[in-house]
Structure formats: C-alpha cells, structure tokens
Amino acid sequence: MNQARHIAIIMDGNGRWAELKGEKRVKGHEAGAKVVKEITEYCSQNEDIERLTLYAFSTENWKRPRLEVEFLMKLLQNYLEKELPLYLEHNIRFEPIGDTRAFSKTLQKTIKDVEIKTAHCDGLVQSLALNYGAQDEILRAVNKIKNSDSNVTEAMLSNALDCKYDVDLIIRTGGDHRLSNFLLWQAAYAELFFIDTLWPNFTTNDLKLIIKDFKKIERRFGGLK
C-alpha cells in the first residue's frame, strides 16, 4: 500500500473565497492561514507523513497588487511568530524553500530564526515555499554546480535544489488543473489530485479522503509493476 510520505499542496482559492463572500481578498488569505495551521497539525500527528510542502508565495506573486503583496508579507511574518510554539509543541521542523533574499531583512530574520529554533525537531518537516518557482530553483541549482569537473548527474542536481525530496502526492485546491511552476523536478512521479474546493474550505477530512484514494493507486514509476 502506498504511503504519502511527502505531501505537497498548492493552496489556491483564498481570494475567490473572500470575493464570493463580498469581502476583500486579504480576508481569504487570513482564513487560508488558519487552514495551514490545521492541516500542519493534522499531518504532524500522522506517523506516515514525513514532509508537508505548502506553496505559500510564488516568484510570480509579486505581480499582484502592491497592497495585497504587502499584506501577504505581514501575514507571513505574523504567522511564523505566532506558530513557533505550535512547531515546538508538535515536534515540527520548519524548512523554507525558495529565494527569500527578496524579502525584507526583518522577514528574512524571522524565517531564519524559526528554522534555527526548530532544527532539533525530528517529527514532521513543514516546508513553506516562499518566493519560490521551480524554474528559478532549477536555474539556481544549475549555477551551483556548473563549474563541476565531472558530468552533472541527477543526484548532483537533486542535491543542489532547495527541496531535495521526491513528492508522493500533490494536491491543488481551487479548481485549476496545473502545477503552476511548483516542484517540477520533485514531482516527476507524484500522483496529482485537483479539487474544486477553495483553500479556506479545505479540511482535514478532505485530506484524509485524498490520502485514502492515493493509497489505492498502483504506482509503477515507469515499470510494469
């Protein structure tokens, strides 16, 4: 039976959720942050799940309205400060991926502080993809190893990536059927689940049902069995 050891989620639909309620888009992001906490806590209590990677802010998200981007930066800052005790209580290690150099010095410090303070935790690993794009990740990895004296191997490239672990299961909420530049290398043999549910409406029960369906899939990895 399959084990969803590494689950990755494209958390889509926050803005639409708010707009359907006649509220500002930022209200959807606030609601979505609460779901991040619930899903992370649930995964930390599931012994089969080792890693949870969440697409929080992409390299393309800078194109959004300035006020929305500024709100997302403040939301991330507040989330990390507020949820540090949750990480420690549930033995969760925080490992961000992406190029965080584009963020403010204050936010960069907070990200690094939470990473350091949870480094000893050996339960679930939660990765937030921050200023992340898979193409950017691969380019940065190539530049790390381009002066190598030997031919580049899959192992060398994989080890140079921000996320060095293959994904078993990718979930995208919000109804769209695409990966949107998320973990393209790591998702080579991931099982993909696209659902219409908007992220603020996503529940632990939704995740349980998806994992249940995932376990029934015959994963052949290019072979016959």
Alpha helices by DSSP H, listed for 45-148, are 66-89, 105-117, 134-145
In a domain, 148, yes or no: no
Q: Is residue 12 annotated as a catalytic residue, yes or no?
A: yes
Do 57 and 74 contact (CB within 8 A), yes or no? Answer: no
pLDDT at 224 over 60: no
CB within 8 Å of 88: residues ≥ 6 apart: 117, 118, 121
Report the number of distinct structural domains present in the chain: 1
Indicate if 113 belongs to the active site: no
Which uninterrupted H or E stretch holds 170? Answer: strand 169-172
Sign of CA dihedral 34, 18, 22, 72: positive
Average pLDDT of 203-207? 98
Predicted local confidence at residue 225, as pLDDT: 59
Residue 143 in domain: no
CATH number at residue 67: 3.40.1180.10
- As a whole number, mean pLDDT of residues 130-147 equals 95
Q: How confident is the model at residue 202 (pLDDT cuts 50, 70, 90)?
A: very high
Q: Has residue 181 got a pLDDT over 90?
A: yes
Is the predicted pLDDT of residue 220 greater than 90, yes or no? no
Residue 19 confidence (pLDDT): 96
pLDDT number for residue 218: 76
Domain, as residue range, for 15: 6-132+167-216
Q: The sheet that has 125-132: what strands, in order across it? A: 93-94, 125-132, 51-58, 6-10, 169-172, 191-194
User: Is residue 193 situated within a structural domain?
Assistant: yes
Mean pLDDT of the chain: 95
Could you tell me if residue 157 is inside a domain? no
This prediction has a pTM of 0.95
**Nearest of 81, 83, 104, 102 to residue 92 by alpha carbon:** 83
* Residue of 46, 61, 181, 201 with catalytic role: 61
Q: Which helix (H) or strand (E) holds 53?
A: strand 51-58
Residue 75 domain-assigned? yes
